[in-house]
């Protein structure tokens, strides 16, 4: 089925807004952060009289968590494969010594930079990257060459970003920012305070430190005048990869399907945060209409095979990497401190903000 994306050919960004509301009731639980809790803030605005004012706002879901969610809706956990319309896209699969699937580059915290892919005893993927990216240890990083490599092994990273922070790989400078980003905000928010108690039927005055006794607790949720999901697809960045028209069309179509799937199926963010989409609006380019989910699902298999036929993907499409159980995963080497994460936003996945 032909998918017409010509209206996006000269547009630098595709911007979408989705109006959301709680599926039941009016309360919802936002994402939470260590040592911070809910991310509440004031946004400047102008009131009805033209005076500056502040609007109480809340971050419901962060860009990092939305990246996770946009990927999760594309993976079939039972089949351990892409969902049907995306089958045939490349992926790096981590398996144990018995061939049992452990994880993969779609679901891993930092995609190809996952320690399960690059830091195990199986060095095949690391050595492949090192060989194919040789010559960029000094001078400017060739982003197009990096993009071509990612298309072969982990095309998903071209949308969600990656940071290959290993000094043996071009000095640790191989980095792509997100081409598809998203977040959810709520406006005119108010706290909804409640609480409860964990009852001990046997010994209400038992040692609460050991899990016994009655334990009262406070609960903080929110209500809001509006909840909005924002999506930004950087079309200029995708064209800048220099991968050709077929790959560009594929990446755009995959991004659009991710958005459709998230709004259809992926808005149960937490137990107390189950949302639904009530309105979808394109803010740029004006007048453009987002293709329906069925149209995208019908078009994607042909777009995938067009890129594969042109030699864009690794064969076989799933690249296996073995991870042996019993390795000292995550432990510092003897006599050395554990390496700390890089500061700043590395434009790759992080753990879900579960609140």
pLDDT in tens, 245-277: 999 999 999 999 999 999 999 999 999 999 999
Any domain includes 31? yes
Is the CB of residue 45 less than 8 Å from the CB of residue 54? yes
The answer as to whether 336 is a domain residue is: no
Locate 268 and state its tokens.
């149960």
At 115, the pLDDT band (50, 70, 90 cuts) reads: very high
**Higher pLDDT pick, 219 / 163:** 163
Q: Which residues of 29-42 are buried (b: 16+ CB within 10 A; e: fewer)?
A: bbbeeeeeebbeee
pLDDT mean across residues, the chain? 90
β-pairing, 318-322 with 91-95?
A: parallel
User: CB–CB of 105/156 below 8 Å?
Assistant: yes
Q: Please determine, for residue 344, whether its predicted confidence score (pLDDT) is greater than 80.
A: no
For residues 154-167, average pLDDT = 94
Of 166-180, 214-228, 245-259, which has the strongest mean pLDDT? 245-259
pLDDT tier at 139, thresholds 50, 70, 90:
confident
Q: Is the pLDDT of residue 31 over 50?
A: yes
Rounded percentage of the chain residues whose pLDDT exceeds 70: 91
Residue 131's domain spans which residues?
Answer: 15-322
pLDDT band at 72 (very low <50, low <70, confident <90, very high): very high
Q: Is the pLDDT of residue 157 over 80?
A: yes
pLDDT digits (tens, 9 = 90+) for 180-194: 999 999 999 999 998
Q: In this structure, is residue 329 part of a structural domain? A: no
Over pLDDT 90: what percentage of the chain?
77
Residue 352 lies in a domain: no
What is the three-state SS of the chain? Answer: CCCCCHHHCCCCEEEEEEEEEECCCCCECCCEECCCEEEEEEEEEECCCCCEEEEEEEEEECHHHHHHHHHHCCEECCCCEECHHHCCCCEEEEECCCCCEEEECCCCCCHHHCHHHHCCCCCHHHHHHHHHCCCCCCCCCCHHHHHHHHHHHHCCHHHHCEEECCCCCHHHCEEECCCEEEEEEEEEEEEEEEEEEECCCCCCCCCHHHCCCCEEEEEEEEEEEEEEEEEEEEHHHHHHCCCCHHHHHHHHHHHHHHHHHHHHHCCEEECCEEEEEEEEEEEECCCCCCCCHHHHHHHHHHHHHHHHHCCCCCCCCEEEEECCCCCCCCCCCCCCCCCCCCCCCCCCCCCCCCC
Residue 335 clears pLDDT 50, i.e. is over it = no
| Least confident segment among 13-17, 47-51, 148-152, 158-162 | 47-51
Provide the pLDDT for residue 36.
84
For the chain, the domain total comes to 1
In a domain, 222, yes or no: yes
Q: In this structure, is residue 91 part of a structural domain?
A: yes
Whether residue 265 is contained in a domain is answered as yes
pLDDT score recorded for residue 339: 42
Lowest mean pLDDT of 3-7, 279-283, 303-307, name the range.
3-7
Whether residue 55 is predicted with pLDDT greater than 50 in this model: the reply is yes
Closest CA to 352 of 75, 116, 104, 64: 64
Q: Is residue 69 part of a domain?
A: yes
Rounded average pLDDT over 280-286:
95
Entry pTM: 0.88
């Amino acid at each position: 089925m032909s998918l017409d994306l010509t209206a996006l050919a000269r547009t630098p960004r595709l911007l979408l807004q989705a109006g959301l509301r709680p599926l039941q009731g009016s309360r919802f639980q936002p994402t939470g952060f260590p040592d911070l809790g809910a991310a509440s803030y004031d946004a400047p605005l102008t009131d009805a009289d033209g005076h500056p004012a502040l609007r109480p706002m809340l971050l419901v879901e962060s860009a990092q968590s939305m990246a996770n969610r946009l990927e999760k809706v594309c993976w079939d956990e039972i089949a351990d494969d892409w969902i049907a319309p995306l089958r045939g896209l490349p992926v790096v699969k981590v398996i144990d010594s018995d061939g049992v699937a452990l994880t993969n580059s779609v679901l891993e915290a930092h995609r190809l930079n996952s320690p399960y892919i690059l830091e195990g005893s199986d060095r095949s993927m690391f050595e492949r990257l090192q060989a194919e990216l040789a010559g960029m240890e000094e001078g400017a990083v060739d982003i197009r060459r990096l993009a071509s490599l990612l298309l072969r092994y982990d095309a998903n990273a071209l949308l969600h970003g990656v940071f290959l922070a290993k000094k043996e790989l071009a000095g640790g400078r191989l980095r792509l920012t997100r081409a598809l980003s998203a977040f959810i905000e709520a406006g005119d928010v108010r706290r909804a305070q409640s609480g409860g108690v964990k009852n001990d039927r046997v010994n209400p005055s038992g040692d609460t430190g050991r899990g016994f006794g009655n334990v009262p607790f406070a609960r903080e949720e929110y209500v809001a005048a509006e909840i909005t999901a924002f999506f930004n697809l950087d079309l200029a960045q995708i064209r800048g990869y220099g991968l050709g028209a077929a790959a560009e069309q594929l990446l755009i179509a995959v991004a659009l399907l991710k958005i459709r799937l998230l709004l259809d199926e992926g808005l149960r963010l937490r137990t107390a945060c189950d949302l639904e989409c009530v309105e979808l609006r394109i803010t740029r380019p004006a007048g453009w209409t987002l293709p329906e989910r069925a149209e995208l699902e019908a078009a994607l298999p042909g777009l995938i095979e067009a890129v594969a036929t042109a030699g864009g993907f690794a064969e076989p499409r799933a690249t296996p990497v073995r991870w042996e159980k019993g390795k000292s995963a995550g432990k510092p080497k003897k006599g050395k401190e554990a390496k700390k994460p890089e500061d700043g936003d590395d434009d790759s996945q992080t753990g879900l903000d579960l609140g």
